[in-house]
A and B are shown apart, each in its own frame.
Chain A
């Protein structure tokens, strides 16, 4: 952290579809940098001091909830944990995440997208007996390594960075995308989920699924949680290629 106070210049896409006649424009704002300043802190200051209408989403502001993904100087990332000191020239350009419905300014509707994704991949344990489990009895055992491996794939925070960084998704609107593949890989690994490979094939065994991926791997490059997208997509593809 430098004690030298510098001026930051933010360039932000402004557009409110709720206001009739509004058109997208870039607006610039100048603020003084503070030590340890994040884009979360900076945007709140801009809103409170200069423009109370500006829209953006932050919830946990700790890199945990996935609300605040946006395009920061050309790259998708979580704004809450991006320090302004990362940008030597003090110029910071912010755009909403592409690939999602725009709510306004920097706010996009990841919720709707992720709910549809969850419904499409049936993002839950498939086990007819799950509802009949006797809650008084010892839980079903699980190999400790398996539990750890499932957690590794479950660290996704549904921020949408992988979707916005995906060229296939840009060309094929119905493409499931890395967030969906990661979810499927997580359930395919989980011994509690009784779905067969054939059933998984029904979900992802086509060009909108795992065979559509062009392996450009923007997902791998931009995942804020460093999830192993490359490995898991390759794993699913091989698994699906062996079906039938």
Chain B
């Protein structure tokens, strides 16, 4: 029995995981990062467009601050987010970006003087102030009032991940590569680590720790076409689910990005539209202003994706052998801008489509992109049900995104959650002693060994690749951008059958060491369970909120549905998850539910909304002299680790 002990075990070597390991190490705790591959290859690297932080240095970001970022984030979430967490996030984001600056990210900077930009299809000259010269600049993104998205050309995630991993290397943090956590070790509501499979030797190893953090990213690969890396399969989320104790939150909240290339689904950044790119139909007509006259191409992602789908359903899509698509036109941005600020996009177009985006339109359509749901956590990042289990980044439902995430808020979340949750993980390590019976470790190791033994010795049965494909097709066809009760009910039934079939997988290549088919056979049953959580949660939620759009229930229904879906998987024999709900308390909201400002507002309001609006007015009237910090304290007092509490400085306005 091989056992490795540490204080802080981090599963996942992307931005969130590395940042938590760094926090653990800086506070003096032993830490190990487990990764399926070298950490620098994590999906964080694929974030092209940028990171939101309200620095407000560029002239088009002037007047930005934590309040504006907060409003955008809450509106973007369709009021589904946890406002305490959104607050912690927006207040800390400027610090996170400044720390990354000190650690080496070469953020694009403000250049004083005139520059030409494209806004609403027209060339406009803007003038950057001299006093902002050399500070971090920002670009426009969907669903934001200000230009808030800080970037490094269109390789933002790459430069952030490299800086973060380099910092981890500087601190001597070990990254155990090609290791996959396949089960959590737990007892009596406490998590003690994970059973881990070495993907090369096949060996099972128990990693035992005071704190275990799941930072394994999203579950985009439940869908047949996704912008996500092929490793974004949600396995970390699934092993939390399989404890039967930890809950998952809002699994049905799945985002579709408007502009992935057809057919392979590789992303072209929102920066294309942020920088002035347009969406055109088969007649070359710019249709978004007809649907969303105010924000046009830069409405929130869920909105743009639905409008594109609507437009294609009207027969306005461009036909191709891979189905209909629309055009993304960035030709108007010019060669120089594309070569400098959108060069990853250019490379992708050249290599995968054989086109030059300087001269030609890019074929795009909405594609699965982001998982708002994940391991449910408290604001500290710890599971409310399983002590010692933490989660951060896309794997978590911390829940700052609610039912729709804003572009630029994902890499921002990874590093901000990494900072904040990292401190709470370290606090946990300080307050806990490692007390575990080796019998328990052995029990979990044997259980996983047995499962693998059965897989390797079954003579005949299901093909894991086939099962995955069937699951992915069900999710694409019946749990996509627009959803309806009939299709969802069918999806739930079909997935139940797959779940049963997945108990009978047999392999063609029956070796226990490095074996891609065995890896698939271990993962697929877990993925099917997650797919069931998504489909079942979507079927039960009879309203439309953010990215969850029900054709049979088009209104947002705060009265009945202002609540978070919680999912557990209570027994190995179950063929459906257990679903319960967690109410969102309007009476504590800093920003009570309102309209997002897209299309017709047909919200069914909650009776508390009016009360809270009136209550806030009273608090404001009673404190006429309160500045924005004091007002936030009155409306939404939050806990942030001591070291991140200070006010953020901005050019031209100091700390105000």
Chain A interface residues toward B at CB < 8 A: 1, 16, 18-19, 35-36, 38, 47-48, 51-55, 57-67, 81, 83, 103-104, 107, 110-112, 114-115, 118-119, 122-125, 127, 130-131, 133, 135-144, 147-148, 150-151, 154-155, 157-158, 190, 192-193
Complex: A57 Cα to B229 Cα, angstroms: 12
13 new A-B contacts, CB < 8 A, other than A125-B104, A141-B133, are A47-B516, A52-B509, A59-B230, A62-B352, A111-B41, A115-B38, A136-B647, A138-B651, A139-B98, A139-B136, A142-B107, A142-B109, A144-B110
Distance to closest chain A CB from B357 (angstroms)? 15
Partner of A139, one of B101, B152, B159, B347: B101
Q: B152 to A151, Cβ gap below 8 A?
A: yes
Q: Which residues of A contact B300 (CB under 8 A)?
A: none
Return chain A residues, CB-CB under 8 Å to B103: 124-125, 130
A54–B200 Cα distance when bound, in Å, is 13
Q: Roughly how many angstroms separate A138 CA and B42 CA in the complex, as a whole number?
A: 30
Residue B499 CB within 8 A of the other chain: no
> Do residues A150 and B99 form an inter-chain contact, with CB atoms below 8 A?
no
Q: Are B102 and A192 in contact (CB under 8 A)?
A: yes
CB of B106 within 8 A of CB of A190, answer yes
CB contacts (< 8 Å) of A18 on chain B: these are 200-202, 511, 513-514
Chain B residues near A (Cβ < 8 Å): 37-38, 40-43, 45-46, 94-95, 97-99, 101-104, 106-111, 133-137, 152-153, 155, 158-159, 162, 166-167, 169-170, 175, 177-178, 200-202, 229-231, 263-264, 266-267, 321, 340, 344, 347-348, 351-352, 354, 465, 507-509, 511, 513-517, 644, 646-651, 655
Interface on chain A toward B: helix, strand, loop, or mixed SS? Answer: loop
Distance, CA A16 to CA B199, complexed state (A): 13
Do A139 and B135 touch (CB < 8 A)?
A: yes
Tell me whether B38 and A110 are in contact (CB under 8 A). Answer: yes
- How many Å from the CB of B177 to the closest CB on chain A? 5
Among residues of A, the one whose C-beta sits closest to the C-beta of B643 is A135
Partner of A154, one of B106, B137, B644, B646: B106
Given A53-B516, A142-B109: A64 and B230 interface contact (C-beta under 8 Å): no
Chain A CB count within 10 A is highest, among B94, B134, B267, B651, for B134
Please indicate which of the listed interface residues A48, A64, A111, A114 has the most CB atoms of chain B within 10 Å of its own CB.
Answer: A64
- A119/B516 in contact, CB under 8 A: no
Contact yes or no, A133 B99, CB < 8 A? yes
**Measured between alpha carbons, how far is A127 from B267 in the docked complex, in Å?**
36
Verify B514–A55 contact, CB threshold 8 A.
yes
Determine which of B135, B264, B344, B648 lies in contact with A141 in the assembled complex, contact meaning CB atoms within 8 Å: B135
Contact B231 A59 (CB under 8 A): yes
Residues on B with C-beta less than 8 A from A53 are 509, 511, 515-517
Q: What's the minimum C-beta distance from B501 to chain A, rounded to whole angstroms?
A: 17
Q: Which chain B residues border A150 with CB–CB below 8 Å?
A: 106
**Which residues of chain A come closer than 8 Å to B43, judged between CB atoms?**
59-60, 65
**Cross-interface CB contact of B166 among A103, A118, A142, A151, cutoff 8 Å:** A118
Q: Closest residue to A54 on the B side, CB-wise?
A: B516
Do the beta carbons of A114 and B40 come within 8 Å of each other?
yes
Let me know if B46 and A124 touch, CB within 8 A: no
Is A135 in contact with B37, judged by CB distance below 8 angstroms?
no
Residues of chain B with a CB closer than 8 A to A111's CB: 37-38, 41, 175, 177-178
How far is B202's CA from A85's CA once the two chains are assembled, in angstroms?
37
Q: Are A16 and B99 also in contact (CB < 8 A) when A65-B45, A118-B166, A151-B152 are?
A: no
Check A147 against B107 for contact (C-beta < 8 Å).
yes
Task: Give Cα A148 to B107, complex, Å.
Answer: 8
**Shortest Cβ distance from residue A238 to the other chain B in the assembled complex, whole angstroms:** 23
User: Which residues on the B side are within 8 Å of A154 (C-beta)?
Assistant: 106, 152, 155, 158-159, 162
A52 touches B37 (CB 8 A): no
Interface contact B106-A144, CB-CB below 8 Å? no
In-complex Cβ contact of A61 among B170, B266, B514 (8 A): B266
Query: Which residues in B have their C-beta under 8 angstroms from that of A81?
Result: 351-352
Q: Are B352 and A36 in contact, with the CB atoms below 8 A?
A: yes
Question: A141 — nearest CB in chain B belongs to which residue?
Answer: B134
Point out the residues of chain B lying under 8 angstroms from A48, CB to CB: 465
B482 to chain A, nearest CB (A): 27
| Alpha-carbon gap, A142 to B152, bound state (A) | 13
**Complex: how many Å from CA A111 to CA B176?**
10
| Residue in B175, B321, B516 whose beta carbon sits within 8 Å of that of A115 in the complex | B175
How far is B153's CA from A148's CA once the two chains are assembled, in angstroms? 8
Report the minimal beta-carbon distance from B620 to chain A, rounded to whole angstroms. 27
Chain B residues with Cβ under 8 A from A51's Cβ?
A: 509
Q: Are B507 and A52 in contact (CB under 8 A)?
A: yes
* Residue of B whose beta carbon sits closest to that of A158: B40
B102 touches A19 (CB 8 A): no
* A159–B101 CA distance with the chains assembled, in angstroms: 25
**Are B38 and A140 in contact, with the CB atoms below 8 A?**
no
Residues of A within 8 A of B38 (CB): 110-111, 114-115, 158
Which chain A residue lies CB-closest to B351? A81
Beyond A135-B98, A143-B109, whether A55 also contacts B135 by CB under 8 A is no
A144-B109 in contact given A19-B511, A139-B136 (Cβ < 8 Å): yes
Among all A-B residue pairs, the 9 with the closest Cβ atoms: A141-B134, A111-B38, A52-B517, A18-B513, A135-B95, A150-B106, A136-B646, A144-B109, A81-B351
